Amino acid sequence: MRVALTCDHLSPTQVAVLKHAMSRFAAAGHDLVPVEFYGGLLGYGWTKDDAERPREWRCLFPDRMQASRTRVFLELARLVRRERIGVVVINGWFEPVSWWMALTRRRLGVRLVMIGDSTAADRRRRPVAELGKRMFLRRMDAVFTAGTRQRAYLRTLGVSPARVTLGCDVVDNARFAACNPHTGARASAEGGQRRIVIGTAARLIAEKNLDVAIRAFASVAKAEALALAWRLAGRGPLEEGLQALAASVEAPIEFAGFVPHGGMPGFYTGLDLYWQPSVSEAWGLSINEAMAAGLPVLASNRCGCADDLVRADNGWTHGPSVEELEEGLRAAIARRESWRDMGRRSRDRIAAWGPERFAAGLLDAVQLAQGAATLSDRPATRHVELSA
């Protein structure tokens, strides 16, 4: 059986995970063919030098950054017929190409698996849009999602848990295995005082709630008799305004700018605590990375991974308001002597959320779509409750 997994463009993180999945599929007697729509743009500053594509991969428009959605769909349909694809894995319900695949699946002779990680709380939900999702999901043969919140949201949209497999949001944990955060023992240049470095990796956009976080951090930094610093990696349209805000409140914040894919392990190595203050976050893969690097985590309760990954033994969660962010920061700082042990628990927990989890969950979804009688016995697939 040949399976096509489609995406506008694949991030370096996805490339590493998909390479593993291709091997897992091959061992099961199937071909997994990643299909990118565009080759001229990877997004977020990444380039193809960050993650080399195997020759088996397909790209519909190798030299373009964009094409009409009609052209994308027609090229994808031609590829499906030409390469005798039996199952197509599509990304989400918002993309027009996904809808056209859903409407023409019988004519194309394919089964469909949707991959997505939306939750009930990551966006404002409108009844008309939710009705559209229900109609779309009825045309899916299986759904491959991330974790507890995502599965619960699908159930509210009428998707039976028997059609859902888990594990789509993972990273290549091995990339961060050598990270050795200097937890609680960093000395600054001035007189050997301990310097606590908190870090965040995020696009500088409204959903990340960084303006509120800057105000909260400034308040806590002024009140605590500690040398605190917040290192923020990422770029985005709000960068200039956030830098001005940080200067106006005199917050000790470093704007590190874009950190290349290969530099992320080093970024996490330089931190004591990871913080994700988002007001909207379907999952939060940076939390996976930070945990794999051995860091304790402070996360907004809006992050879709919070229920599965962030618990009292490895971190804290807080609400999105400035008062709640301040409270979360103070609670985390008060337990800084425990950060090293909490970081170890982070690394232990995330070990089960690596490429094998993705490969097994995707294979189970494909077998569900094909009506297979038996599923793989790998962890984190359907019927298996999530655990530490």
- Coil, strand, or helix at residue 190? coil
Q: What is the pLDDT of residue 185?
A: 43
- The C-alpha atoms of residue 243 and residue 129 are separated, in whole angstroms, by 36
State mean pLDDT over 349-372: 94
- Coil, strand, or helix at residue 142? strand
- Mean pLDDT check: name the lowest of 121-125, 221-225, 299-303, 339-343: 121-125
pLDDT greater than 50 at residue 145 = yes
Q: In what order do the strands lie in the sheet with 253-257?
A: 253-257, 227-233, 195-201, 273-276, 297-300, 315-318
Q: What is the pLDDT of residue 56?
A: 82
Up-side HSE of residue 292: CA atoms within 13 Å toward CB?
23
Strand-pair partners of 278: none
CATH 3.40.50.2000 in the chain is located at 2-170+354-369, 174-350
Q: Specify the fold of 174-350.
A: Rossmann fold (3.40.50)
Q: What is the pLDDT of residue 121?
A: 86
pLDDT greater than 70 at residue 355 = yes
373 or 257, greater pLDDT: 257
CATH code 3.30.70.20 for 2-170+354-369: no
Q: Token pair for residue 377?
A: 């016995």
Smallest CA-to-CA distance from 250 within 208, 209, 222, 212 is with 222
